[in-house]
Structure 1
Amino acid sequence: MKLRVRAELAYRFDPPTDAIYKIHAAHWPGQHILAETLAFDPPVSFQEDEDAEFGARTLRAHMAGEVSLTYEATVENGRLQGLPANVSQHDWGDLPAEALIYLSPSRYCPSDQFGRFVTRQFGETTGGERVLAILDWISANIDYEHGVSDTETTAARTFIDRAGVCRDFTHLGITLCRASGIPARAISAYAHQLTPPDFHAVFEVWLDGGWWLIDPTGLAPVEGLVRIACGRDAADIAFLTTQDRCEMVRQKVTVELAED
């Protein structure tokens, strides 16, 4: 699918502070960037880095005052598909080394606290069937609601509150998958048909020899996702991280089908 993505972020940095942006479409296998532009207003001197494993890119800069960043890209995201129930789960000894870190608890995903729950709730299911059962449970038990969570909310808190936004759904999905012995990692993305448009948090699971994209909110089709960054949880994939405080002036994200 060919998609045109655009992000405009205007923030006020007072006092001046160092900042890291993760808003570029990634140079991911199967995802091709056909064209892109980046502009700062006023102009800012920045450093761009690219992750060798995922092709995820970051911008680093020292920001002062009100600064607007506009990023646009046309991306061919390949042929993404939803997770089938019949894909198999691997024994840990058969996993690739890159997947092992995504079995462990992380800052927002305390999977070591949910072993008993997943055993009782999801019974004898494994692999794709287990992941789909987890998604069904999240859909039935967690409300999508703004204002319930904040940047410190963990999956354990979401499990208690039974409400949250995309990052909370993703953290809970990752947590329950890891507690089931399935590697799971957080993905930030541009999402076609997401309403209202925004940066979107989803996740991937390693099953049947590959990574499968999952949107635990069900708000955007997997086929219309453009990957930005990848990590253990939201701490690794935030679109903006600053050393000191900052204030949002305006922010707008759009994702549209691009004409051939």
Structure 2
Amino acid sequence: MQLNAGCELSFFAETPTPLILMLRPRSGAGQWIIREEYQITPAVNVTEFTDMYGNLCQRVVAPEGPFSIHFSATVQTADLIDTAPGAPYTPVEELPDDVLHYTLPSRYCQSDQLGELATQITENVASGYDQAEAIRKWIHETITYQYGTSNASTSAVDTAASRIGVCRDFTHLGISLCRALNIPARMVVGYLYQLNPMDLHAWFEAYVDGRWFTFDATQAKPLGNRITVAYGRDAADVAFTTQFGQMTLNNMNVWVDAVHVEPAENEKKANEAPTLSNSAGSPN
């Protein structure tokens, strides 16, 4: 499916404020960027770099006063998520070097404190994909989704205790429980079609059987039509905006809409992007 997605952010800066932005998705597994538009008001100098996780990041200095960012893109997305019940656990000694650090505790994902809970949730479950799926299902059925119940400092340990949170908290808990079982897990942020209420979204990927698979504990069943913007160990790595000064976010608007494509045109576009896989999930 083709999606039009984007966001508008309106700030007020007390003084000139450096910012790191992470708003541009990249073409890759399950998504192909057809068109994108990036507007910053007032106009400022922008430099772009790729961080250690492969995310596109932009550096700007917001001048004093009102400052706004508009980003939109048309993206061909995968309609399905890859699933693989029974896929085996990948032993730590066989993990690629760039995956190893996703087994370790991180700022919001204290996996070293959640081993007992992870073991309880996955008791009598086959090692690998089925463990990650058992964790996703347990979070979906046990943790209450509710806005305003957590904040920027809430960690996986906090969510395990309170049993309440939002997508960020669900994701941190899923990552931590997987890592507690030595299953590499990473945070993913981006857009999800028909998310209700609409917002920027977070989910996690777990590495089993030599590749990454998508898990979203906020949803009852696997849903495709996702646009990945960034990967990281936890929320500290994937913030859409990181500011270095006094700056207030006054308004944020997010949208994800389906693009109507005539059948003949749809077939043509499919032929133009032959590398797009049928389902979401990164083999990298």
TM-score (norm 2): 0.86
Verify the 8 A CA contact 2:133 2:215 in the aligned structure 1.
no
Q: Structure 1: how far apart are the matches of 2:238 and 2:193? A: 19
Q: Match for residue 17 of structure 2?
A: 17
Q: How does 1:155-234 map to 2 (within 5 A)?
A: 155-218=156-219, 222-234=223-235
Structure 1 residue 31: Cα displacement:
2.4
Structure 1 residue 132: Cα displacement:
1.5
Q: Match for residue 37 of structure 1?
A: 37
Q: Secondary structure at the residue paired with 1:83? A: coil
The amino acid that maps onto 1:112 is D
TM-score (norm 1): 0.94
Q: Which moved more, 1:26-35 or 1:173-182?
A: 26-35
Verify the 8 A CA contact 1:177 1:183 in the aligned structure 2.
yes
Structure 1 residue 186: Cα displacement:
0.4
Structure 1 residue 210: Cα displacement:
1.1
Structure 1 residue 217: Cα displacement:
0.8
Q: Match for residue 116 of structure 1?
A: 116
> How big is each residue's C-alpha offset from its partner over 1:76-127, in whole Å with a ceiling of 9 and x where there is no partner?
2346414332211111111111210100000000001111222233213221
> How big is each residue's C-alpha offset from its partner over 1:137-193, in whole Å with a ceiling of 9 and x where there is no partner?
112221101111100011001111110111000000000000011100001111111
Q: Match for residue 62 of structure 1?
A: 61
The amino acid that maps onto 1:156 is V
| Structure 1: gaps spanning 5 or more residues | none
Q: Match for residue 136 of structure 2?
A: 135
Q: Secondary structure at the residue paired with 1:252? A: strand
Aligned-residue CA RMSD in angstroms?
1.7
Q: Which moved more, 1:164-173 or 1:118-127?
A: 118-127
Q: Match for residue 46 of structure 2?
A: 46
Q: Match for residue 150 of structure 2?
A: 149
| Structure 2: gaps spanning 5 or more residues | 262-284
- Give the length in aligned residue pairs: 259
Structure 1 residue 32: Cα displacement:
1.6
Q: Secondary structure at the residue paired with 1:222? A: coil
Query: Runs of 4+ in structure 1 displaced over 6 angstroms?
Result: none
Structure 1 residue 16: Cα displacement:
2.3
The amino acid that maps onto 1:144 is Y
